[in-house]
């Protein structure tokens, strides 16, 4: 009977040690040195588990008359209306994309090249903020299932002559960095100023 209790006690201690180790590993991945990405809980605009919404996400409110930057690509114009640093350690960039071409514009090359991003479809998952001063590139934040915290375009793009609002969330650069370049797909980079939220 002593042997059975001893073995049971050892198994319990081993399970406790493994669980503790896993918890420390998971919490250690959450941040600290600034290179890690905040989790999806920082945003209320991400889609729910399983992507149950229709793929449409609303962008944070921005004044429609305000324009921080505007760049033109092949058959599309990208306008950036705001770039706001929030207290949770992230930056929300939002604006509008307008189809200026003669056929339906598909946002396929905006989703990024990483395998993890392939489930995001036509979205801004491949967007990035580039901090030239700090020599760092910030990718769009993702939830634990690899979905970006960004707009996913209904139908895969934008109709001719139409516009669609968009947003994307990124880890925040250091507080003294106020100017960054926004990049997505084959669009030229757009220099923007980050405001405090």
Q: What is the pTM of this model?
A: 0.65
Position 14 in a domain: no
Range of the domain at 103: 31-196
Give residue-wise pLDDT tens across range 125-146. Answer: 889 999 998 899 999 998 888 8
Pick from 80, 76, 77, 85: which is nearest to 66 by CA?
80
Position 91 in a domain: yes
CATH number of the domain enclosing 41: 2.60.40
Give residue-wise pLDDT tens across range 35-86. Answer: 443 333 233 333 333 333 444 444 444 445 688 899 998 889 999 999 999 8
* Number of structural domains the chain divides into: 1
Separation CA 58–CA 92 (nearest Å): 12
Position 16 in a domain: no
Position 17 in a domain: no
Position 6 in a domain: no
Position 21 in a domain: no
Position 124 in a domain: yes
């Amino acid at each position: 009977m002593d042997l059975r209790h001893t073995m049971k006690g050892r198994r319990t201690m081993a399970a406790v040690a493994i669980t503790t180790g896993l918890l420390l590993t998971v919490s250690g991945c959450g941040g600290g040195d600034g290179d890690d990405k905040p989790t999806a809980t920082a945003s209320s605009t991400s889609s729910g588990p399983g992507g149950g919404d229709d793929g449409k996400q609303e962008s944070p409110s921005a004044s429609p008359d305000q324009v921080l930057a505007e760049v033109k690509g092949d058959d599309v114009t990208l306008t950036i209306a705001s770039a706001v640093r929030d207290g949770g350690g992230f930056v929300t960039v939002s604006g509008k994309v307008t189809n200026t071409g003669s056929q339906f514009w598909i946002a396929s090359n905006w989703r990024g090249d990483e395998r993890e991003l392939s489930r995001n479809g036509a979205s801004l998952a491949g967007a990035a903020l580039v901090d030239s001063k700090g020599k760092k590139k910030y990718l769009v934040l993702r939830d634990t299932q690899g979905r970006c915290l960004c707009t996913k375009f209904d139908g895969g793009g934008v109709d001719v002559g139409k516009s669609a609002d968009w947003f994307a969330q990124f880890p925040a650069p250091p507080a003294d960095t106020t100017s960054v370049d926004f990049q997505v797909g084959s669009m030229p980079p757009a220099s923007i100023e980050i405001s405090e939220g």
